[in-house]
Structure 1
Amino acid sequence: MQPDDLLSALRDRRILAIVRGNDPDAALDAVLALFRAGVDLVEVSLTTTGALAVLERARAVLGPYAALGAGTLLTVADARAAARAGAAFAVTPGLTEAVGEAQSLGMPVLAGAVTPTEVALAWAEGATAIKLFPGSLGGPGYLRALRDPFPDVPFVPVGGVDAEAARGFLAAGALAVGVGGPLVGTAARAGGDVAGLPARIAAFRTLAEEFPCSTS
């Protein structure tokens, strides 16, 4: 995946699904259920038990072109392991050493930042987009303020993003939003509510359609 491919996927889908949990089989089921339901931009957090195996197994099922990424990359070793497991893009919680390493391995990076200084540094480091994390810290108003000095930076708020917050962030100019629990539910943790995914997906899609993306 090239940086422009990730930007296009974020712009078109508006939703990045985030899978994390303590049951590898349930996490894999959640990833595959998301893709089957049409949410084809998915991050598997490395905090998930057996995350690398989940990525490998999902990649084997989904094929080489699926927009499947790895999140919570902290170290050079994390970036290398994620690439070996088949991650197409990388997501970090901050300006970790994984940012540069992931880029060197050919993975576009959604780099975590929250302050103006961090945003400027991450953008200068070549991040494809900025993961505004935690998004719940300042909410849509903070994103709106950040976009004044950084009008050309694509932001993807993550952390505490439920349907109401997603609506606010998209209205404030977010390229997309990253959604974990409010979308995936307990599916990745316990495999208990995969059947409820279609309804939640439909709700978030309807929400995203309220705000056609105008960010280039």
Structure 2
Amino acid sequence: MSLTDRLRRERVIAIIRGTDTKAAERTVHILREEGITLIEVSLTTPDAAGIIARSSREAGDTLIGAGTVLTGDDARAVQQAGAAFVVTPALAEGSLTAHALGLPVVAGALTPTEIVRAVSEGASAVKLFPASVGGPAYLRSLREPLPGVPFVPTGGVDADAAHAYLEAGALAVGVGAPIMGDAPHGGDPDALRERCRAFLTALTRHREGE
């Protein structure tokens, strides 16, 4: 199954951006246990490549990707670590190198010019970032001239916003703090489980309303 198909099925990429390696790795395990199967580990997290490598070995159906991939060296490092996909915050060398290496890329873009360039450079999907700048109304406006672009709005997306973006035509959403809280920094794992369940419940309600 392609990354685009997985995004269409799962509807959410959970984004881990932490300051504590062990806590971030524990967060990956909890997300998997709670049924979130598209997980992005930002390279701003200490030992992100190691977390990706260790988590990928026991991932099963879960796809562990790398986020904040900016350079060609970043892309090569995460490929060697076993990343299943790459996410970038902007159009950068990292997205081009990852694509050349055969990794699916969710490339960051905001303006129509950037979005068209991302698609032309082989992005599997476009990370609309920071989505909060324009909100769901901006996504609707973009989809009028660009109906075939698979958008993944990211930045300030909580459960209510996720529903609004999906209603506006997003393929999926990227979600960080509203699910993670302080878990990747060493926070309460039980609270993380509760947030995961609440978010997945909200997604289920959206699907039932489609």
Common topology (TM > 0.5) = yes
Distance 1:141 1:193 in 2: 35
Within 1, Cα distance between the matches of 2:31 and 2:65?
13
Instruction: Say yes or no: does 1:166 pair with 2:162.
Output: yes
Gap regions ≥5 residues in structure 1: none
In the superposition, the TM-score normalised over structure 2's length comes to 0.95
1:203 aligns with 2:190: no
Equivalent of residue 84 in structure 1, options 80, 83, 92: 80
Which amino acid letter does the alignment assign opposite residue 150 of structure 2? P
Tell me whether 83-92 or 194-203 shows the greater mean CA deviation.
194-203
Q: Secondary structure at the match of 1:62?
A: coil
1:112 offset after TM fit, Å? 0.3
SS at match of 1:157: coil
Instruction: Work out the CA distance in 2 between the residues paired with 1:87 and 1:185.
Output: 24
SS in 1 for 2:58: helix
Please name the residue that 1:181 is paired with. 177
Please, which moves more after superposition, 26-35 or 165-174?
165-174
Corresponding position of 1:140: 136
Pick aligned residue for 2:118 from 112, 119, 122: 122
Secondary structure in 1 aligned to 2:64? strand
* Number of the residue aligned with 2:96: 100
Corresponding residue for 2:207? 212
Per-residue CA shift, 1:180-201, capped at 9, x if unaligned?
11001111111x2221233222
Q: State yes or no: 1:15 paired with 2:6.
A: no
The answer on whether the counterparts of 1:55 and 1:85 sit within 8 Å (CA) in structure 2 is yes
Q: Secondary structure at the match of 1:159?
A: coil
What is the alpha-carbon distance in structure 2 between the residues aligned to residue 9 and residue 167 of structure 1? 18
- Gaps in structure 2 of 5+ consecutive residues: none
The aligned amino acid for 2:198 is A
State the superposition RMSD in angstroms.
1.8
- Write out aligned runs for 1:19-98 (5 A): 19-62=16-59, 66-98=62-94
Structure 1 stretches (4+) deviating beyond 6 angstroms?
none
Contact 1:170/1:208, CA 8 A, preserved across alignment: no
Distance 2:30 2:198 in 1: 16
Name the SS for the 1:38 alignment partner: coil
Alpha-carbon distance in 1 for matches of 2:207, 2:30: 26
Q: Deviations over 1:55-85 (max 9, x none)?
A: 112123325x531100000000000001011
Q: Aligned partner of 2:43: which letter?
A: L
Instruction: Report the Cα offset of residue 95 of structure 1.
Output: 0.7
Equivalent AA in structure 2 for residue 52 of structure 1: A
CA contact (8 A) 2:56 2:63 kept: no
Aligned length: 210
TM-superposed CA distance for 1:165, in Å, is 1.5
Identity over aligned pairs, percent:
52
Kindly state the Cα deviation for residue 164 of structure 1 after the two structures are TM-superposed.
Answer: 2.1
Q: Is the 8 A contact 1:91 1:109 kept in 2?
A: yes
Measure how far apart 1:154 and its partner are. 0.6
